[in-house]
Structure 1
Amino acid sequence: MPNRPFTAAWAEAFQSAIEADDAYRSAAAKWTWPVALILSPAPELGFPDAVAVELQLDRGRCGGAQVVPADAVTAPIALTAPYAVWKSVVRGELDPIVGVTRGKIAVRGSLATLMMHARAATALVACAKAVPTEFPDEE
Structure 2
Amino acid sequence: MYRFPSQEWVDELVKIATSDQELREIGKTWTYGGVITIMEPDEKLNESWKAFFLIDKGEVKEAKIIQDEKEYNAAFIFKTTYSVWKGIVKGEVDPIQAFLKGEIKVEGNIGILMQYMAFIRKFINVLTKVPTRFPDE
TM-score w.r.t. the length of structure 2 is: 0.89
C-alpha displacement at 1:73, in angstroms?
5.5
Q: Which has the higher helix share?
A: 1
Give the Å deviation of 1:70: 4.8
Whether 1:106 aligns to 2:105 is yes
2:115 is the alignment partner of 1:119 = no
**What is aligned with 1:135?**
134
Identity of aligned residues (%): 27
1: CA distance, partners of 2:28 / 2:69: 29
In structure 2, runs of 5+ residues without a counterpart are none
* Separation (CA, whole Å) in 2 of partners of 1:31 and 1:111: 14
- Residues 1:53 and 2:28 are matched in the alignment: no
Shift of 1:71: 4.0
- 1:65 maps to which residue? 63
Kept in 1: contact 2:38–2:51 (CA 8 A)? yes
C-alpha separation in 2, matches of 1:134 and 1:73: 29
Q: CA RMSD in A?
A: 1.8
Aligned residue for 1:91? 90
Q: CA deviation at 1:4?
A: 1.4
User: Quick check: 1:6–1:67 contact (8 Å CA) kept in 2?
Assistant: no
Q: Distance in 2 between matches of 1:89 and 1:111?
A: 20
Report the CA distance between 1:29 and its aligned residue: 1.4
Check whether the contact 2:89–2:124 (CA below 8 A) recurs between aligned residues. Answer: yes
Aligned to 1:21: 20
When the two structures are superposed, what TM-score results if normalisation uses the length of structure 1?
0.88
The structure where strand makes up a greater share of residues is: 2
Shift of 1:43: 7.9
Q: How far off its partner does 1:94 sit?
A: 2.1
Of stretches 35-44 and 85-94 in structure 1, the one that deviates more from structure 2 is 35-44
Q: Distance in 2 between matches of 1:54 and 1:21?
A: 20
Return the alpha-carbon distance in structure 1 between the equivalents of residues 28 and 53 of structure 2.
15
What stretches of structure 1 of length at least 5 have no aligned partner?
none
Count of residue pairs brought into register by the alignment: 135
